Every structure is written in structure tokens, then in C-alpha cells.
Amino acid sequence: MRYVYPAIFYRAIEGGYCIEFPDVEGAITQAETLYEALEMAEDSLACHAD
């Protein structure tokens, strides 16, 4: 079974990107580039899914 979780990507004031999942409490991460942000978002969601 697959689940879909919306993610919010936004630019951080100090640089880089912040990512949060509104439907998953505590699933927030950040990265320097958009490519890294996609990887970090996947990792963050996987950690909170356990």
C-alpha cells in the first residue's frame, strides 16, 4: 500500500531550504540545495514512518 504526504518546501532566511510535512508531527528537515532537500525529505519521512 502506498501513502501520499504533502510536503512544503520553502527557502530559509539564512539560506538553503526547509521542508516540512504538515500531516506528520515532527517531520521537519533542512538542506543547502533543492536536490539535497528532496533526499532529506525522503529520509525524514522514512524515519517518522517507523
pTM of the complete model: 0.75
Note the pLDDT tens digit of each residue in 2-50. 888 899 999 999 999 999 999 888 888 999 999 999 999 989 888 887 6
Nearest partner of 34 among 19, 24, 50, judged by Cα? 19
The β-bridge partners of 28 are: 20
CB 48 within 8 A of CB 24: yes
Would you put residue 4 in left (φ > 0), alpha (ψ -120 to 50) or beta? Answer: beta
Q: Quickly tell me which residue has 517518522 as its cell.
A: 48
